[in-house]
Homo-oligomer: A and B are copies of this chain.
Amino acid sequence: MNATLDGDVVRAAGDARQRFHDARGYGRASGPDVTLARVEAAHLLYRGDIDSVSGMDFRAFFRDSVAGESGFAARFLVYADLRERGFYLAPARAGWPGSADGRDAGADNTDDDSDGRHDDADILVFERGEKPGGPVAHRVRVVGEREELAAASLGGRTLAVVDEESEVSYFACTADGGFDGRTEYDLPDDLDADLLDDRVVCWSPPVDLYESAFYGQPISGRDDADVDALQLSLVEAADLAARGAVALDADAVIERGRAVEGERFDRRLSVYRELRDRGVVPKTGYKFGADFRTYDAVETVTDLPHSERLVRVVQPDHRFHPRELALDVRLAGGVRKRMVFALAGDDSNDYLTVERLTP
């Protein structure tokens, strides 16, 4: 069967509507014919279901499409991979199944953006067993591994990253940190403490400050030590100073934090405070390359649960490099934690959970 290129779509007549659209969920019906997006037509050529598009075989049509549509090669690879996994798909595109119609002026998100994306997605994946137009399982955003991605645009999308060797990795992005803070404790008043370089030492602290509230790290953990002291990080100390628990000027601690860390300190402190306010315990995530690891519910440090999440604090306009995203999410998965990005803004923080996914 031969099909015809018509602007940015491909039209097929004869029994194409029955064979490709009705039976296998390609394209959109146009009266007796079927209209295919380029990615759909390329897939049918690739499978040998159609022989040519306006005289072009797969190789020629693929070249023509790569030249004509930005990101086509990656989109084709993801389309083929998801079809192989047994899903019905549609390009996310005004008027295609599952997307609002560009002609419906009353609907939200009716227009495709300048990259041809509709509603920040490239491909809609329908729930297993559902035909095009049914419930959507994944709104897939396709990116090459070299493209940067605005963190704020990813909530509710499934990211398909095509690496330089054309393998596809999937990530589910949820606009929620998923925290369920249930840690309770009382804080002391005005403890004696020294601000020393880039940390704080708190002298002869009550046991519960570490053991229940899980602030700091004892310097006196050694059997042979003669000293009773708790070391606090600067975020911990700034938080405790603001709550009146240590006798230090909170602003002086914050100034020291900015001196050693720049404005990143303010963002980290903002997230730290919010998590503490929500009953979550953040501790350093250094060993996992993150800002914090977090515990929803600490009863005692002696009987510490597994920390559930790693948190990386970023700016609200942060753009991910897909390679860094792969690194963070893979590491978190390897230590049975969820990876959460905190988009720390001036007035409030947003959270984005990213997980690896096998569709």
Contact = CB atoms under 8 A, between A and B. Distances in A.
A326 B331 CA distance: 11
A144 interface: yes
A72 interface: yes
Contact of A84 (B48, B63, B84, B222): B222
B222 A289 contact: no
B331 A46 contact: no
A226 interface: yes
Contacts of A72: 197
Contact of A165 (B63, B216, B327): B216
Contacts of A47: 224-226
Chain A interface SS verdict (over half): mixed
In the assembly, how many copies of this chain are there?
A: 2
Interface residues of A, number: 64
Given A144-B198, A146-B261, A261-B146, A286 B169 contact: yes
Interface stretch (A101-109, A148-156, A230-238, A345-353): A230-238
A296 interface: no
Interface string A54-76: 00001100110010000111000
B199 A73 contact: yes
A273 interface: no
A45 B335 CA distance: 39
Interface string A318-359: 000011101110110011000000000000000000000000
Interface in A18-72: 45-48, 58-59, 62-63, 66, 71-72
A273 to B, nearest CB: 16
Nearest to A289: B327
With most chain B CB atoms within 10 A of its CB, the pick from A66, A197, A235 is A197
15 contacts: A45-B226, A47-B225, A58-B226, A63-B194, A72-B197, A73-B199, A144-B198, A146-B260, A163-B286, A166-B217, A167-B284, A289-B323, A289-B328, A290-B327, A327-B327
